[in-house]
Structure 1
Amino acid sequence: MINNPNYPLRSLGLFILPLVVCLGLMRSVSLPNEKAIPPYNSLIIALEFVHSAVDVVNTLEVLDREEILGLDRVNYFDFVFMAVYCSFLSLFIYKLGAISNQPLVKSMAWAGLLIFTSDLLENIMMLNITSGYLDGGMSFSPYTNFLPLFTWAKWGLLAAVFAWLGTLLIQKGPLSKVLSLILFLPAILLALAVVDYSSWVNRFTTSIFLGFIILLIFAVCYRKNEQYQA
């Protein structure tokens, strides 16, 4: 039962439906990810992490016009995806605080709005970059100054929120303790990426998606009578 009072977070499992739909729409766009410049294994990730006009040219010059427009389509689908995953994250935090009677935890639900804002601005920067590149010239150059700020804000906030949630979940039952350890992984990989970017950046971004899977598993499996002291 979705509304079983013994499983107060289980209704959040319904988010898997829109999440899968959004991911399916984005994956339906055929992108030649093998053309992504090293160290990236995804064209979208490569574009997210450009830091200069030179990076933009290196990332996009190997693509034809239709492939660049494909990147835009993925970003348009991502507007919906970010709304879904940020709503899930905010509701997860709010409900976790509610069932544990911790107002401070509930108040941290605003973190989802910060992540959404960062992701939204990141996408706007990327769309302006691809548009400027296709128009010719260097009109996209100013956007490369702001894109890294929003990109790292998004990924950094996600890693921080997952690590914080890990400190809460580790106080619950045996399964929750195991799941919580995985939530620390993004923060660890982020630190490693700072030290050795090319070796760890792909692992770091992948670990963020793994973190959402862990939260969905926890939401479905968590029982109200599990011990919790925040």
Structure 2
Amino acid sequence: EDKVQARWRLAAVFALTLGTTGISVAFNFLGRDFYNALANKDQEQFMKQLLYYLGGFAGGIPVFVLRDYAKDTLSLRWRSWMTTYYMQRYLENRTFYKIQSQSTIDNPDQRIVDDLSAFTGTALAFSLTLFNAAIDLISFSNILFGIYPPLFVVLLVYSIGGTAISIFLGKELVNLNFLQEKKEADFRYGLVRVRENAESIAFYGGEENEMQMLVQRFRSAFQNLTV
């Protein structure tokens, strides 16, 4: 039942995204007629197009808002399901003990809290961005090609080239971001360790040792950002 609802919600998000693209195309034509009437000083046509413009805003903006709301709601529900699923796997068959004793995964708590949140939000946003970009490309290509074909070719080459350069320059950021998440989690774990062992640290006077460890972990995280 949850899978069926999730699929319907996902389909609704894609349908709303398709609707927002249609609205953007419609606004493009409305803008053309509006500014043509303004340039021609045609008061009657100007007032007519102005009413169309206002009506388009009144009807179009709620669709954009509804799309964002549906997307965020779906992302939250997806995160809730994945978090519950991985917490069950983490606690069953003493998996948490095996991970801790064998050090197979660093900072599993951070993986469950932060990584799942980032994964669900980013994966959904990236999918919608690709879908929206493809629809925009198809929708606006005819408009640009009809205005001036060489301009369409130049913009297409520019877009493909810019995307290729971004991928080439950004691929190294993936490992850098992963390493940064690990170092930030280590630093956060050190702070949690101080809080959980506050009595022992205070009793044995271990503040200086703990401070050195925390500073070392923070510097490691900070230096990773300045590479």
Q: One fold, TM greater than 0.5?
A: no
Higher normalized contact order (CA 8 Å, seq sep 6+, divided by chain length)? 1
Tell me which structure has the larger Cα radius of gyration: 2
Larger fraction in helix: 2
